[in-house]
Amino acid sequence: MPFPDFLFPDVVPVERISMGEDTFIIVGLGNPGDLYAGTRHNAGFMVVDELARRWDCTPGPEKWDASSVRISIFGKKVCLVKPITYMNMSGKAVVRFVDFYKTPLPCLLVIHDDLDMKPGRIKLIAGGGAGGHKGIRSLIEHLGGREFVRLKIGIGKPGQGSAHADMPVEKYVLAPFSREEQDLLAGRMNVLVQGIELFLQDNAGRAMNLLNGLK
């Protein structure tokens, strides 16, 4: 599939992306190991784990610095990926999959946490900068572009909810979701999965309307 004939100066409307027969790669960002399980920075891992559960597959064993599985669904070839490089070096793993499958960046969907959106807020975009997210920064550096699609999961920031304003951001993102936040994310998982499935079925515009319309 050729790249769309437009540039990505900031954020590109997802509905303008056309899909072909390429292998889609869905990446959940996070940190490996039990120490980080259930933490805010692992929101991407949590969504990929739920996709694997619903699609009856299991990522693993570790290959190319990631746990992954490749399946066929909705007539598409899809590879689920969870990098084990730790968040700040996520791009090191992802670029291996993109290069091997020759996946155009618009067919790469990256799921990650976002400090600038309140807990439970969801946003699907294409392009855009890293916005301080070190995992996204690593992807842009290793991929040499930012034309990939991003599904951002709001986690809020210190000073919101029960998190004290003086809590360092580094400590906040590596802390477990509160019970209220867990319930909020769990309550939106059906819509998250539905949006991702619409994206895979060439309905990127509908996926964006569904996910970005949640408040």
User: Which residues are part of the catalytic machinery?
Assistant: 41
127: left (phi over 0), alpha (psi -120 to 50) or beta: left
Closest CA to 115 of 93, 130, 94: 130
- Peptide bond between residue 106 and the one before it cis (omega within 30 degrees of 0): no
Q: Determine the residue type at 3.
A: F
- Tell me the residue length of the chain: 215
Contacts of 156 (CB under 8 A, 6+ apart): 115, 117, 118, 119, 163, 181
H/E run at residue 78: strand 76-83
Give every CB contact of residue 71 below 8 A, 6+ residues apart in sequence.
55, 57, 77, 78, 79, 80
